[in-house]
Amino acid sequence: MTQGSSPLASPQKLRNYPSYRGGEGMVAWAFHRISGIGVWAFIVLHVFDIWLIGANPALYDALGEFYSSAPGRVMETLLGAALFYHALNGMRIVVMDFWPALTIYHRGLWRAVWVTFFTFGLPGAYIILKPIWEMAA
């Protein structure tokens, strides 16, 4: 089995990352990896909690209270941001992998990821967070 998945293979030690390669490619890769791990961790929890709908509905509803509380909503906003960034940047990776000729536009694709992220993400965050101050009022 080959090891290593960094865009330019060699450095495996965390302390090497800041000095290796640099630029958008490295930021995109680091964010992609961190968001992927974060969303994965949530999904492990999330399949368990969905299983509770059948196994223990009362416990599921108690967890649901947390999901709709203020701290719960802040966490969901962060989860949504991680998922949305990962999905958009993932499509950027797939597009360049499947149509390598488009790699020359990587800078434009990278910009498109962030424009899309904020265009849909900010209203989305507003919708998720709004009940916090509506409940308070």
For residue 62, the Cα-to-chain-centroid distance in whole angstroms is: 26
Using CB under 8 A as the binding rule, whether residue 90 contacts other proteins is answered as: yes
Q: Which does 85 bind (CB under 5 to 8 A by kind): other proteins, ligand HEM, none?
A: none
Q: Which of 109, 133, 123, 115 has the alpha carbon at shortest distance from 80?
A: 123
Stretch that binds ligand HEM, among 9-17, 88-96, 115-123, 126-134 (CB under 6 A): 88-96
Q: Tokens 């509380």, residue?
A: 69
Q: Which amino acid makes up residue 42? A: F
DSSP state of 68: T
Q: Which of 112, 34, 47 has the alpha carbon at shortest distance from 79?
A: 34
The pair of structure tokens assigned to 26 is 């490295």
- Where along the sequence are the contacts to ligand HEM (CB under 6 A)? 5, 32-33, 36-37, 39-40, 43, 86-87, 90-91, 93-94
- Where along the sequence are the contacts to other proteins (CB under 8 A)? 1-7, 9, 12, 24-26, 28-29, 32-33, 36-37, 39-40, 43-44, 47-48, 50-55, 57-58, 60-61, 64, 67-68, 72-73, 76, 80, 83-84, 87, 89-94, 96-98, 100-101, 103, 106, 110, 124, 127-128, 131
